[in-house]
Homo-oligomer: A and B are copies of this chain.
Amino acid sequence: MIAQSWLDEIAWNADGLVPAVAQDAASGEVLMLAWMNRESLARTVASGEATYWSRSRGALWRKGETSGHVQKVVEVRLDCDGDTVVLRVESVGGVACHTGRRRCFFRLLEGAGGERRWSVTDPVLEAPADHG
């Protein structure tokens, strides 16, 4: 148990998680959304580098541990309901997505009416990784 009262103010969901939105501190771009449990947020704040909880692997995931694309945390914010956090980060190497792109939100909805499609807007900057 990590006894830190600021962590108690967070409304963890039934799985003990909250969504964490990572935003580029320089450009303002929303880079990715991942999940955090209590330990991952405590580690993130203590180390100054984003650590998430991988729901697929059921394990702590220090962002950049394999790719080198660490996220240095500039600011941590909590919302009105206490159930979502925003991290403003420096995205080291400028690649946040495991596809090798700057951000995970590289698909834009285009078209109109019944003819809409997701269009890829961002280039691949480096070879894709197994995970980020």
Q: Which of A76-115 contact B (CB under 8 A)?
A: 76-81, 84, 86, 97-99, 101, 104-109, 114
Q: State which size class the interface on A falls in.
A: 35 or more
- Which residues of A are interface residues toward B (Cβ below 8 A)? 4-6, 9, 19, 21, 23, 27-30, 32-33, 45, 75-81, 84, 86, 97-99, 101, 104-109, 114, 116-118
Residues in B whose Cβ lies below 8 Å from that of A9: 118
* Main DSSP-derived SS at the A contact region: mixed
Q: Which of B27, B98, B108 is in CB contact (< 8 Å) with A77?
A: B108
Contact A98–B80 (Cβ < 8 Å): yes
Closest 4 CB pairs of A and B: A28-B28, A79-B104, A77-B105, A76-B109
